[in-house]
């Protein structure tokens, strides 16, 4: 054997023998605990390779912060809540550190460092995977959690896929994804918060790291779930509550809750890319009124601008936007305009000149202004992560306000640029914590909406409507969000349902999607089905793209016009219920559009792909959407009793049942025990309904309540007590508790409408016997002229008992 061959064998043998050692060294684990300092409600730990801080944020929330170097800077765009003082016991022995609150136990093992969370009674909720725990590969940091038997994962914000995310993996990097696939990831926004479910327990984990992050829920392995980021800290909040509603409450306590929206934004919105000139906008408004289609908003896309330059109007298309908006306002319409972050580089363009002068644009590391190409051409971008940049944006918004604009649609704020590859050496202020594009990218959209919300509020004193495409955890404080450039396809409609339900699980209550699809042309059946669904979506926006057919309700024939009008009418009659549901969201973060996983967490059927698109609209309505091509649909009814909305036919819970589907009606059911306030039909929220509040009560065996809420719908007076609020309870009797607040209800009378009380002939109101009336009501106008058998169709009617009551701010008790 030659010396060269022998040398080669020795080298190869050495590499093979040292390979395992090298691989282990390339992964740096937290290691063993070396020192412990116990403070008030917190533990500071030094390990072999890291520093850790474990903080009791509240009885059910524990913050875990692990860094390579001793942590100094503590800054978050998402978390606005500080730790609260709670009773917590912290004990240390040779092998463990144990933190006990009223809600849970946190056990920290010392060798090696690992964390496990238990209920107060000792049931395991979540634990680090032994041997892996938290580690670094280069700058990338990841925590590994042991997969529990049968564990499910839900939430994570705007993510495609199944309701149960087990076996899947996801990346968070806000992306401009025109016409995305129904299984595509990532999409436009980042909310790194998920909920785990197993063995009758549930927990939440919010990973507050704005770098590109990755979540693995048992994809390509059967050992662990994990979450990590390309750089930055391992910084997460572990949240435990007995019910998912409590987890959402705690998460939105950390990251903030929505303000009450302007009432008009809950009405129907007619959009297109694009409506122009002004005569076309007015024609759309006039046609909506002529055809008695209730509506409150029209949106202007990028073609209202002069050469796509922000804060400008095309003078040929819109010679007098203020006059146009004044005319629309008289008709009961509000205008929303799109605004992108790119400011065209053009001498003489006021926003460009002023932005350069005020030094608010993003720069490279060498101080040169960053330039990226979007709709206007080459553009600069305001640094919304600086207070100076946000304040500059607010001053620019005055031109919108002066022209009568009421809504602000923040688009292209991922940041989107042609090429979709902003350089990582672009610098951001990050509110005094200077950083690069890598850390700032995912929060750029959030901070743009912050600037828009604060600017519009300060300029008008009224509630603005803000809509965004991109964002980060906490976006609910400033804005509604829609799911971007979807397709006119059945799978996109149903994927959109899951996207909105997931956003709701992730603390965002005001959500929407482009009804009818943005790209392509829906079939007649798909359009009708999607518009029906839209009546039960928080942000009800019809929108289609350029080079598509018209998608207004009258564009698909007379039958579809009548179908869509029926459901828009129902939406407007339901506004008292919808507004009260939004009030609940502002108080505890509960979404308006609710995955069944919130109330029926441990019912395996709701995770079945056959039923995962079903959802609750508020507490009362069970919505069951299906593809437009289906003639029959199987519906799962969770625990409880469920009334057919149109006929009051009763369905028992805990069963699956097949129903015929029709173009005219979407399956909608009402849960027994529900209380639903409704009003008379109006054509816009600028119009006052009649002064009778219809209070629909559905007989049930389970106690239920609703907080009925009113205010003026446009100002912030409600923050100073200018509201009307009363709790209404149903538990074998109906109790309207004494009204709170200084606002006077717009309703002088109440008509009690009782469903399922067939044998009831009389009742007592505050002790006085009252006789009931029997009548029939229908929730949808009959489509008689389209009866396929000819002649006139008999409308579905609910046979109910009614009673007229004088509304009073005092307590009202109705005994059945």
Indicate which residues carry an active-site annotation. Answer: 411, 414, 485
The residue among 61, 72, 178 whose CA lies nearest residue 125 is: 61
Q: Which of 634, 640, 670, 668 is nearest to 652 (CA)?
A: 640
Spatial CA neighbour of 496 closest among 625, 620, 599, 664: 625
How many CB atoms neighbour CB 76 within 10 A? 15
Q: In 10 A of CB 554, how many CB atoms?
A: 16
Q: Are strands 189-190 and 213-216 parallel, antiparallel or unpaired?
A: unpaired
In whole angstroms, give the CA distance from residue 637 to residue 211. 41
Give the separation between CA 565 and CA 553, rounded to whole angstroms: 8
d(CA 813, CA 209): 51
| Pairing, β 798-806 against β 812-815 | unpaired
- Distance, in Å, from the CA atom of 284 to the CA atom of 286, rounded to the nearest integer, reads 6
Where do the DSSP E strands lie in 639-682?
641-644, 650-652, 655-660, 668-671, 675-678
Distances (CA, A) of 755 to 649, 664, 674, 697, 705: 10, 23, 10, 6, 16
Rounded to the nearest 10 degrees, the angle between the axes of helix 558-573 and helix 575-588 is 60
Pairing assessment for the beta strands 124-127 and 134-137 based on DSSP bridges = unpaired
Nearest CA among 467, 348, 463, 487 for reference residue 714? 463
CA-nearest of 231, 205, 214 to 141 is: 231
DSSP string of 770-795, one letter each residue? EE-EEEEE-SS---GGG-TTSS-PPP
Rounded Cα–Cα distance for residues 57 and 77 (Å): 17
Q: Label the pairing between strands 621-623 and 189-190.
A: unpaired
CA distance 679 to 694: 6
E strand residue ranges, 451-551: 465-468, 471-472, 480-482, 511-512, 541-542
User: What is the rounded distance in angstroms from the CA atom of residue 472 to the CA atom of residue 192?
Assistant: 8
Tokens 């039960």: give the residue: 536
């Amino acid at each position: 054997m030659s010396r060269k061959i022998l040398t080669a064998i020795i080298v190869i043998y050495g590499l093979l023998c040292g390979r395992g050692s090298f691989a282990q060294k390339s992964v740096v684990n937290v290691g063993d605990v070396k020192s412990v300092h116990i403070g008030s409600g917190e533990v500071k730990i030094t390990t072999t390779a890291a520093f850790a801080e474990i903080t009791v944020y509240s009885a059910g929330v524990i913050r875990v912060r692990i860094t390579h170097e001793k942590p100094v800077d503590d800054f978050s765009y998402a978390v606005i809540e500080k730790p609260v003082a709670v009773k917590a016991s912290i004990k240390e022995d040779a092998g463990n550190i144990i933190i006990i609150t009223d809600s849970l136990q946190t056990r920290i093992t010392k060798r090696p460092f690992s964390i496990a969370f238990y209920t107060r009674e000792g049931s395991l909720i979540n634990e680090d995977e032994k041997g892996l725990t938290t580690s670094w590969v280069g700058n990338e940091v990841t925590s590994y959690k042991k997969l529990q038997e049968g564990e499910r994962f839900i939430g994570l914000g705007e993510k495609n896929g199944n309701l149960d995310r087990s076996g899947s993996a996801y990346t968070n990097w806000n992306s401009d994804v025109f016409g995305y696939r129904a299984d595509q990831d990532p999409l436009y926004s980042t909310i790194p918060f998920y909920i785990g479910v197993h063995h009758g327990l549930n927990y939440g984990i919010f990973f507050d790291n704005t770098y590109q992050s990755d979540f693995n829920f048992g994809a390509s392995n059967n050992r662990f779930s994990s979450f990590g980021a390309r750089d930055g800290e391992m910084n997460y909040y572990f949240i435990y509550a007995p019910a998912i509603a409590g987890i959402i409450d705690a998460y939105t306590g950390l990251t903030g809750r929505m303000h009450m929206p302007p009432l008009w934004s809950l009405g129907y919105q007619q959009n297109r890319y694009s409506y122009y000139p002004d005569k076309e906008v007015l024609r759309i408004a006039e046609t909506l009124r002529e055809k008695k289609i209730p509506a409150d908003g029209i949106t202007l896309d990028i073609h209202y601008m002069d050469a796509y330059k922000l804060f400008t109007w095309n003078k040929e298309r819109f010679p007098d936007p203020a006059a146009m908006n004044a005319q629309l306002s008289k008709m009961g319409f509000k205008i929303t305009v799109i605004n992108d972050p790119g400011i065209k580089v053009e001498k003489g363009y006021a926003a460009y000149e002023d932005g350069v002068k005020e030094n608010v644009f993003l720069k490279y590391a060498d101080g040169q202004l960053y330039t990226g190409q979007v709709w206007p051409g080459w553009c600069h971008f305001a640094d919304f992560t600086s207070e100076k940049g946000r304040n500059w944006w607010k001053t620019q918004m005055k031109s919108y306000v002066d022209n009568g604009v009421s809504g602000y649609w923040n688009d292209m704020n991922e940041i989107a640029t042609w090429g979709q590859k902003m350089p990582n050496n672009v610098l951001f202020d990050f509110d005094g914590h200077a950083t690069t594009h890598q850390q700032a990218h995912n929060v750029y959209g959030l901070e743009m909406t912050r600037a828009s919300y604060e600017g519009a509020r300060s300029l008008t004193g009224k509630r603005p409507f803000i809509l965004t495409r991109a964002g980060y955890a906490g976006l609910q404080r400033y804005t509604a969000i829609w799911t971007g450039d979807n397709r006119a396809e059945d799978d996109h409609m149903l994927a959109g349902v899951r996207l909105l339900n997931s956003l709701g699980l992730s603390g965002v209550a005001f959500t929407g999607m482009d009804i009818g699809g943005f790209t392509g042309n829906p079939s007649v059946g798909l359009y009708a089905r999607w518009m029906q669904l839209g009546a039960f979506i928080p942000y009800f926006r019809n929108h289609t793209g350029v080079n598509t057919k018209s998608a207004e309700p009258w564009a698909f024939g007379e039958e579809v016009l009548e179908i869509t009008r029926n459901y828009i009418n129902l939406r407007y009659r339901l506004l008292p219920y919808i507004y009260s549901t939004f009030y609940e969201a502002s108080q505890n973060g509960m979404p308006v559009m609710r995955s069944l996983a919130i109330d029926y967490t441990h019912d395996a059927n709701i995770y079945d792909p056959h039923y995962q698109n079903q959802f609750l609209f508020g507490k009362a309505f069970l919505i069951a959407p299906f593809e437009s091509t289906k003639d029959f649909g199987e519906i799962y009814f969770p625990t409880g009793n469920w009334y057919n909305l149109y006929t009051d036919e009763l369905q028992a819970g805990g069963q699956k049942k097949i129903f015929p589907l029709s173009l005219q009606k979407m399956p909608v059911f009402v849960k027994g025990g529900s209380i639903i306030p409704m009003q008379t039909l109006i054509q816009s929220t600028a119009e006052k309904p009649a002064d009778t509040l219809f209070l629909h009560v559905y007989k049930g065996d389970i106690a239920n309540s609703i907080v009925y809420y009113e205010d003026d719908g446009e100002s912030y007076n409600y923050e100073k007590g200018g509201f009307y609020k009363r709790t209404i309870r149903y538990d074998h009797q109906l109790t309207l508790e004494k009204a709170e607040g200084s606002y006077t209800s717009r309703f002088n009378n109440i008509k009690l409408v009782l469903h399922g009380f067939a044998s009831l002939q009389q009742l007592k109101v505050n002790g006085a016997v009252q006789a009931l009336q029997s009548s029939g009501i229908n929730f949808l106008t009959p489509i008689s002229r389209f009866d396929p058998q000819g002649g006139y169709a008999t409308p579905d009617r609910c046979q109910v008992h009614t009673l007229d009551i004088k509304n009073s701010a005092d307590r009202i008790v109705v005994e059945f």
